Amino acid sequence: MFSALAGLVFLIGLLAHAGLSARAVLTARSLGRPLMRPTLAWNAIYGLTLAFLAVWGFAGMLDGGVFAPLAPLVVSPAIVALSQVTLAREGIFERLRAGEDGWRHRIEWSLLLGFGLVAVLMIEEPWSWAVGLWGPSYWWLELTLVMLATLCFYLVGRRRGGAALPAWAFFAFVGMMQYFVRKFKNSAILPNDILAIGTAAAVADQYTYSLDPRAIVGVAIICAGACLLSLLHPSWTVVEGDARRGHVGKDAGMGLAAAALCAALVVVPSYMDLFQVQIMYWYSISFYEKQGFLPTFIAVWQDLPIREPDDYTPEDAERIERELAATYDEQVGSTEARQQATTQFDELHPSVIVVMNESFADLSEFDGLRCGYEGPSYFNGMSDALWRGKLFVDVHGGGTCNSEFEFLTGNSAAYIGAGKYPYSTFDLDPVDSMADQLGALGYGTCAIHPNYASNWNRNKVYPALGFDEFLDIEAFGGFPERNLDGTKKDVTPTGVPVFHSGVSDQATYERILEMLESDDAPQFVFDVTMQNHGSYNQDNIPADKLTHYRPAGTYDNPTFNETPERLNEYLSCIEESDRALEWFVGQLRKLDRPVVLVFFGDHQPSMTPDYNDAWYVGEDDLTHSQRVYHANYLVWANYDVAGCDQSSAERDLSVDAFGSTVLDAIGAPLSDYQKAQQAVAQQILATNLHGYLGADGAWYTPEEEGPYRQLYDQMAMVEYRNFAERI
């Protein structure tokens, strides 16, 4: 109802804009002074904006909220008023030309400064109302960056407001993109997200691009920026003293100087050291809010290179790896259980099936969601797994490729650094992987992801990591052809079962079973599922599979961002994944060949920080973050694994050490790097970007001193030699 009423308000605004614009045009013609085409072009911005908001409203794409009734009632007349200012620009120019030179300069620079202030709001306001709470240094830094970028276009464009439109469009784009990224992923845009733009575009049609009152106000601010630029024109900004032949060259030189200064301000100073811009990656959005988008984004960009560990030398790293590998051989490697598993592996060579299930997590860990939710029943009730537990990861709500990378290569983002996506950034040909390792033992290696092969560069990364075969969406029938205008006719693959966001989990399991039944050779299959991918407001769950949970008291708070509808759409996906897992395990039990199944979620869904922040207050940051930065896993086999009682023992792990832990348990040979990793795992149980879990049960940050700090630093050296030096 709200959306339709808001659409009506914007339609009325559009009609008012059209009527007032027509009157202005007719009045100007009657006076023999018709409005210039640039004026009409500027004015069209407001009409198109009002039309867009009206259409969005009638389409049900304008959300309610705390200030919902006020937003359209304020924004619609504000945009109409801005259009009238722009329509009056030619008369304003005449008055300004008649003014004194000094005042004209002052007004020109006041308009530019005003645009700079509005541009900061264009970037910040759509997704955050904390802009007024920044420290002065962050305000001045972002304003300076915005002004320098604007001046570059303005001065090189001969003091025309229209020349600065690229800067205006960029600031508007950044603000609205950050609004949608926060809405969909509850996170900030990081530099490596730019490298992953192709992946983002491929899944873009699975989200609903609705606007809340804050974003609607942001649209009005964007129009205000256009209004200010429309008032800048050389007919009055170029004063008599500047009207000489060289003034164009001088302006161009000043514009290029502004561009050079802007580039230097981005590249040269360390934002973390000089400007004290901080970032904690477990909740990046909070730091973007406190410090501003541009300063924080640039600080993260400057932090992208992999940092060499303190006192690092390749010789020391190699020595440490040898010593840790020897420790493994003397301790874990010499146990009777490991010896039995090794003998069995050499005889059986079991197939290894890895299912990285999209967004799979057991949210019953959040106090049963305060409504009696018990989690995925089959997954939690499986009693004959090798082991199961929490799997600590480095991403949340997205960034699937990093969980893939860490599992397949055994390298931890804790040592590579936050905000980096190795799939998008590095050449992974020289990097060891589980596919390479098992392929060398005669295994067939196949990766599965039922979506576009180019997502996260998988079409290039999987061959680099040693996979012989990659089954993308084309292997499952492909997406329907596109319309003539390039848009998709549908996102549903043809000829294959689908659920929610794409090909169902079970459809991928059926393909794996076909591979196991058609080839007696041992197989290593890495299946990255698609079914549970966001968003969770698609309203496409069948009625008989839709859950109906409602956390008690949560939604009474008007500032709480989540809704029970989104939660239940997600939980319905997990229930469907649970049913498919039960079916798959049942089929694997019937196979007359040994198979190990590794099943885990890549990250939690984007909604969990809202529940975490609402329900668990007063905790230290590290404890609070780790509730969000873990998924769940289990390892199961359809045969009796030597040296393991297979009683579903609880064991918490991190995704980087997960692969070598599985190989160790089933008796597969390990590299020296994996042996070092397993030796460290006896003391450091889990590691992610935010800290590490010691054998004493306590979490430690990478910076603090503790009983495992030396071991943590040693592993940093070993990984730097194993990964960073190779790429």
* Mean pLDDT value of segment 643-668: 97
Quickly count helices (H) and strands (E) in the chain. Answer: 29, 14
CA pair distance 221, 228, nearest whole angstrom: 11
66 has a pLDDT exceeding 60:
no
Whole-number pLDDT of residue 493: 67
Residue with tokens 């060949």: 593
Whole-number pLDDT of residue 480: 63
* Mean pLDDT value of segment 512-527: 97
Percent of the chain with pLDDT over 90: 81
315 has a pLDDT exceeding 70:
yes
Whole-number pLDDT of residue 482: 43
CB 174, CB 213: distance < 8 Å: no
- C-alpha distances out from residue 402 to 283, 399, 456, 657, 658, Å: 17, 6, 10, 14, 14
191 has a pLDDT exceeding 90:
no
Whole-number pLDDT of residue 335: 96
With vertex at residue 543, the alpha carbon angle to CA 537 and CA 548, rounded to the nearest 5 degrees, is 70
Q: Dihedral angle at the C-alpha atoms of 571, 577, 579, 583, nearest 10 degrees?
A: 180
CA pair distance 328, 308, nearest whole angstrom: 26
* Mean pLDDT value of segment 283-302: 91
* Structure tokens given for 248: 């164009």
Whole-number pLDDT of residue 240: 57
* Structure tokens given for 677: 């990793």
CA pair distance 400, 528, nearest whole angstrom: 9
**Cis, bond preceding 270 (omega within 30 deg of 0):** no
* Mean pLDDT value of segment 442-469: 94
> How many other C-beta atoms are found inside a 10 Å radius of the C-beta of residue 147?
21
Whole-number pLDDT of residue 193: 81
CA pair distance 640, 646, nearest whole angstrom: 8
* Mean pLDDT value of segment 490-496: 65
**Start-end ranges of CATH 3.40.720.10 in the chain?**
349-669
pLDDT class of 281 with cuts at 50, 70, 90: low
Per the model's pLDDT, the better-predicted residue between 428 and 280 turns out to be 428
Give the pLDDT confidence of 573-626 residue by residue, as tens digits.
999 999 999 999 999 999 999 999 999 999 999 999 999 999 999 999 999 999
* Mean pLDDT value of segment 107-117: 97
pLDDT class of 428 with cuts at 50, 70, 90: very high
* Structure tokens given for 543: 């009625």
Terminal-residue alpha carbon distance, the chain: 55
The H or E element containing residue 650 is strand 649-650
210 has a pLDDT exceeding 60:
yes
Whole-number pLDDT of residue 605: 97
490 has a pLDDT exceeding 60:
no
* Dihedral angle sign, alpha carbons of residues 324, 326, 327, 333: positive
In this structure, what are the phi and psi dihedrals at residue 58, rounded to the nearest 5 degrees?
-70, -20
Give the pLDDT confidence of 660-701 residue by residue, as tens digits.
999 999 999 999 999 999 999 999 999 999 999 999 999 999
The H or E element containing residue 77 is helix 70-87
- C-alpha distances out from residue 280 to 174, 295, 609, Å: 21, 14, 15
Based on C-alpha coordinates, what's the Rg of the chain? 29
Whole-number pLDDT of residue 192: 74
Q: Residue 603's closest CA among 420, 435, 363, 419?
A: 363
151 has a pLDDT exceeding 90:
yes
- C-alpha distances out from residue 664 to 328, 333, 681, 686, Å: 11, 9, 12, 16
Architecture of domain 349-669: 3-Layer(aba) Sandwich (3.40)
CA neighbours within 13 Å on the CB side: how many for 710?
A: 3
pLDDT class of 241 with cuts at 50, 70, 90: low
Whole-number pLDDT of residue 483: 43
CB 457, CB 437: distance < 8 Å: no
Task: Give 690-722 as a DSSP string.
Answer: TEEEETTS-EE-TTS--TTHHHHHHHHHHHIII
Percent of the chain with pLDDT over 70: 96
CA pair distance 477, 459, nearest whole angstrom: 17
pLDDT class of 282 with cuts at 50, 70, 90: low
CA pair distance 475, 531, nearest whole angstrom: 16
Task: Give 334-388 as a DSSP string.
Answer: GSHHHHHHHHHHHHH--EEEEEEETT---GGGTGGGGTT----HHHHH--S-SEE
Whole-number pLDDT of residue 491: 54
- List b or e across 426-462, with b for residues whose CB sees 16 or more CB atoms inside 10 angstroms: bebeebbbbbbbbbeeebbbbbbbbbbbebbbbeebb
CA pair distance 65, 20, nearest whole angstrom: 31
CA pair distance 429, 464, nearest whole angstrom: 5
Which 3 state secondary structure label does DSSP give 514?
Answer: helix
* Mean pLDDT value of segment 712-719: 97
pLDDT class of 246 with cuts at 50, 70, 90: low
- C-alpha distances out from residue 367 to 166, 243, 297, Å: 49, 72, 35
Contact residues for 589 (Cβ-Cβ < 8 A; gap 6+): 638
With vertex at residue 54, the alpha carbon angle to CA 52 and CA 59, rounded to the nearest 5 degrees, is 95
User: How many residues are recorded in the chain?
Assistant: 727
pLDDT class of 521 with cuts at 50, 70, 90: very high
Q: Where are the alpha helices (DSSP H) in 186-270?
A: 191-195, 197-202, 213-230, 234-237, 247-267
* Mean pLDDT value of segment 303-317: 93
CA pair distance 602, 471, nearest whole angstrom: 19
Whole-number pLDDT of residue 485: 43
CA pair distance 558, 69, nearest whole angstrom: 14
In eight-state DSSP terms, residue 724 is: I
